[in-house]
Structure 1
Amino acid sequence: MSIASFKTSARRFGAGSLLAFAVAAAYAQGPAQRPAPTPAPAPTMSAEQWRQAAVADVEAAYLITLDDHPGTVDPANPDFARNLEKAREGGQALASRVRDGAGYAAALQHFNALLGDGRAGVVLKDMPPAAPRWPGFITAWRGDNMFVAATTPGGPAVGARIADCDGKPIAQLVETNVFGFGQRSGGTGPWWTFAPDVFIDQGNPFITLPVQCIFIDEGRESRLTLSWRAMDEAAQRLRDDSFNGVTQPIGVSTPRYGLHWFALPTFQPNDTERTAYGAMLAEVQANRQRYLDASAVVIDLRGNQGGDAVWGLNLARALWGEARVNRRLKVAQARQAVLWRASFANIAHTSFEAADLSEQQRRQLDYDPAVVAQGMLAAQSRDEKFYPDPARRDPVSDSDRAENLPGDPAPFTKPVYVVVPGQCTGACLEALDVFSLFPNTKLIGAPSAADSSYTDIRLEPLKSGLASVVVPSKVVVNRPRSAATFYTPAIVVNDVEWSQRAFLKAIEADLVRR
């Protein structure tokens, strides 16, 4: 399957998990937003064959993760090994009851939920287990509540708050029906992204769909019995827009005089988008004084789900100055290091990587796979679990800590507002790490996701051919932002419609207060 398929399935078929985003970001070369591919037909299998596949795949996912994932021997993360055992037990409990493809998918997603790491678990192939259904309305999670974001005739009013369904608070229903079948990183960001999937039916046989819900609109309470029907593409687009709003293409615009808006909806650009990034960065470099004189700059990350952090880094360098950004990063990451998990499969994978790379590809890496493979092998021979990356960092000097040095461009001190979406993870979080190094930056939008410290992902196909196991080869240690840390915006935008207009209103109000 293509990585774009993971991503599209996660967005459009409600995976309830950041895993597909994280894996897609680690691999994808194409655009972040694509039309949904034609789903491959589900394999023709008997109920017993589906059960056997689920049981075998949960066990294989457990064993591969146990042997090769750095988390199982990470002294800084003792919960990982315990959660892996829970994932095996819980996954097998559901796998034994599987009768069809939807049940298979749910059992594997439950394994992911119990494992609870954004870069561990199982990724399903592009085989939606069932045609998704909806009750005729789309919701949005804002703050601590769920609201109607879009509706069909006869449905609840847009903006109405959903209090409960079938006597259960809506948050409890989300925990059970959504987050029980897909990982969520720490914090409330994933709620903004995935909680609305409580009203998307994927045929999961292990949950009970809501039947009757209470809606509160302008103080008036009403009850609605839900009528589930097939989702069309228009409904799926409404679902996407419920947490990101309508995003803008890569580039810079000026919504009003003196306020400049940079749109960075993807860090996984295709050729056309790479050209757009080049044009945007060239414009900033050629006209930097325009931004030094601005009343405010907005960096819009809506739609962004990671990829290559260089795109955000390059914009930061163009605005604040390359040497200034590089110094601050060096100080912030002075203790950061990488450890490679020295297992048989990881050594073999790295050795094959070394043999298959062209010279040009090798130069693009920040490590030599042949050196790493030999180092991992030597570590294993000493019964050591990790091989420390041999890269050496220069010590931090007094000049590295200087705010400004001779030769630096003029300081960029005008207000910068960074729009944060709830699904911001991977390279999107790395961009926030960089932007937040400067005191003129203020975050606006939703809480971000948190981010696993495991990286350098490969996929190990399972024997069934229905899914693959996510296997990172290394762990980043002493990262300034821990695996449990997420960004909380200074300005939370709880408008149901996440439009540019809504953000501009909040930004203009904040500029007045400044």
Structure 2
Amino acid sequence: MLLRYMMFVALACASASLAGQSHAQETANPWRLLAERDARAALELVEANHPGAETSLNDTDFLARLDTARANVENRLSGVDSYPAYDALMTGLAAEFGDRHIWSNSLVEFPHRAWAGIILSRRGGSWVVGAQERGPNDPALVGHRLISCDGTEAESWGKQRIGAFKGNPEIEAQLAANAAWLLVRDGNPFLSKPESCVFESPAGARVEARLDWRQITVPKIYPFIERADGMRPAAGMGVKPFDGGYWIHLETLESSAAEVVAEVELLQEDLRASTMVVLDLRGNGGGDSSHALAIAKLLVGEKAATGQSQPVATCRGAFWRVSQGNLAALRNWRDRLKGGDSQSFAYVSALVEDMEAGLAEERAFTPALPDCASRKLAENNRKSEELPVSEMAGRLVLVTDRACFSSCLIAAEIFRRLGALHVGEATDVSTRYMEVREELLPSGIRTFSTLQKVAVGSGDYGPYEPAIVYSGDLAQTGELQKWVAELR
């Protein structure tokens, strides 16, 4: 892995030389040159293709994030003098948009980190030491709660670091997902290295610990992260009876979810008559939400499921941002479908034709964006809705964990609006922007993503807080099922 990294360093130096060597400083510092080129290309990718960057949509929040992203790139460029600094600038750029569908993936393997032997986890809204490798002078800290670092209160300290380079600091699921890396240094020069932190034992005793930083490789960190975080919940796939009724295991909404839909259809009569039906979305990171809607229709009936699948707005619809890049992506999608599913091929072919027409007519969106489609108007122009009668006799229960993202959030929205009792753990959040695609950046060692479509009339999906938080281990399905069965 180190050899591969050194090869990319050589590539970076060669790239700087080929740039003409107009500035000696740039030639001596190829990482800044690469950061400048890649960041510019990433911003242009978003500006030219993302629906939120088009001013006619009037998404002032997104436009403000875009301005902040540009400003932070400019401010940080002078500090880029190594691969870790370049990596931090690019990951920070992606994090500025507050949308996990916008990412920047590195193709370089950089295995070294510095750590103080401590891996944090997120438990009950606090940072807790989940695993530790003690040095000769280190106090035992597993189970202790982090109180502060270098005099800064722990919650503010953690949220600031995660918010700047990792994710949305206001979303509990994203705080939990990034907790393990808070006391692991990746060479980011834009974050200070903490020297001392205060921890509190379960009994209330406080310990100030000087942090002894030492080198470690990433593969050696992962066992500590697994120990700190525990086994991640996984619903599995299929429909099975349990003590309370029936349990629908739906760990993914990818193509294999069709088999679960088929099982629900076979058991439809029993499921509708059951005293309780549980939709288990643990570990579900998304896919195609139509599978969840199909399950809802089979359980509660077409009218009830369709009426409650999404908010009602007088101004709504799906609109693609018109651009050459988005058209090329649609053409590639269409070409991959040739000789396959004829219905999907016809659908994407129609999208290609619409995009071509939009470019010819110099429109910003296809179909043409209506005047009512600004974010503010769309969200304030909603009708009250009536609840169609469900064809289920029993109770619906929804189980989620923090992995629920993208189409899983749409599934959660559908079942919550159908009146399902939501239990488990809070979900992540996803915006109304859809259809992610990824491009290689000029350096050749990194990618960046954008989105291409907006759902007008919809707000963001999530985060969804459960009505009842499960305090046990969500990875233990048997214990979870016993607990749910008692929710009468």
Q: What interval of TM-score do these two structures reach, taking the shorter chain for normalisation?
A: 0.7 to 0.9
Question: Do the aligned residues in 1 keep the contact of 2:163 with 2:169 (CA within 8 Å)?
Answer: no
The letter for the 2-side match of 1:163 is: I
Question: Do the aligned residues in 2 keep the contact of 1:137 with 1:155 (CA within 8 Å)?
Answer: no
The letter for the 2-side match of 1:450 is: V
The letter for the 2-side match of 1:418 is: L
Q: What is the aligned counterpart of 1:62 among 21, 28, 43?
A: 43
How far the C-alpha of 1:164 sits from its partner, in A, is 1.4
Q: Distance in 2 between matches of 1:333 and 1:443?
A: 25
The letter for the 2-side match of 1:73 is: E
Structure 2, unaligned stretches of length 5 or more? 14-27, 370-385
- Is residue 204 of structure 1 aligned with residue 204 of structure 2? no
Distance 1:127 1:505, change over 3 A: farther
Aligned residue pairs total 447
Aligned residue for 1:446?
A: 425
Aligned residue for 1:190?
A: 174
Listed as ranges, the matches of 1:97-116 within 5 Å are 97-116=79-98
Listed as ranges, the matches of 1:386-401 within 5 Å are 386-388=365-367
Question: Do the aligned residues in 2 keep the contact of 1:215 with 1:222 (CA within 8 Å)?
Answer: yes
The letter for the 2-side match of 1:41 is: R
Q: What is the aligned counterpart of 2:9 among 44, 55, 80?
A: 44
Listed as ranges, the matches of 1:87-236 within 5 Å are 87-120=69-102, 122-152=103-133, 156-184=140-168, 187-216=171-200, 217-227=202-212, 228=214, 230=216, 233=219, 235-236=221-222
The C-alpha deviation readout for 1:269-304, integer Å capped at 9, x for no partner, is: 6xxxx3xx5664454444445545655443332222
Distance 1:507 1:151, change over 3 A: farther
Q: What is the aligned counterpart of 1:465 among 423, 429, 444?
A: 444
Distance 1:245 1:158, change over 3 A: farther
- The 3-state SS of whatever aligns with 1:463 is coil
Aligned residue for 2:225?
A: 239
Distance 1:285 1:337, change over 3 A: same
Distance 1:124 1:357, change over 3 A: same
The C-alpha deviation readout for 1:432-460, integer Å capped at 9, x for no partner, is: 02212322x12123322221222222222
How far the C-alpha of 1:426 sits from its partner, in A, is 0.8
- The 3-state SS of whatever aligns with 1:419 is strand
Aligned residue for 1:341?
A: 321
Distance 1:280 1:338, change over 3 A: closer
Aligned residue for 1:493?
A: 470
Max Rg structure: 2
How far the C-alpha of 1:204 sits from its partner, in A, is 1.9
Distance 1:334 1:189, change over 3 A: farther
Distance 1:263 1:485, change over 3 A: closer
- The 3-state SS of whatever aligns with 2:95 is helix
The letter for the 2-side match of 1:175 is: K
Q: What is the aligned counterpart of 2:402 among 422, 435, 438?
A: 422
Aligned residue for 1:78?
A: 60
How far the C-alpha of 1:166 sits from its partner, in A, is 2.0
- The 3-state SS of whatever aligns with 2:225 is helix
Q: Distance in 2 between matches of 1:499 and 1:356?
A: 40
How far the C-alpha of 1:427 sits from its partner, in A, is 0.9
Listed as ranges, the matches of 1:298-377 within 5 Å are 298-321=278-301, 324-329=304-309, 332=312, 336-351=316-331, 353-354=333-334, 357-361=337-341, 363-364=343-344, 367-369=347-349, 371-377=350-356
Distance 1:193 1:289, change over 3 A: same
| TM-score using structure 2 length | 0.79
- The 3-state SS of whatever aligns with 2:449 is strand
The C-alpha deviation readout for 1:211-255, integer Å capped at 9, x for no partner, is: 33222222222233334552665752553572873435323455x
Q: Distance in 1 between matches of 2:119 and 2:460?
A: 31
| TM-score using structure 1 length | 0.75
Question: Do the aligned residues in 2 keep the contact of 1:136 with 1:229 (CA within 8 Å)?
Answer: no
The letter for the 1-side match of 2:249 is: A
Q: Distance in 2 between matches of 1:263 and 1:141?
A: 26
Aligned residue for 2:25?
A: none
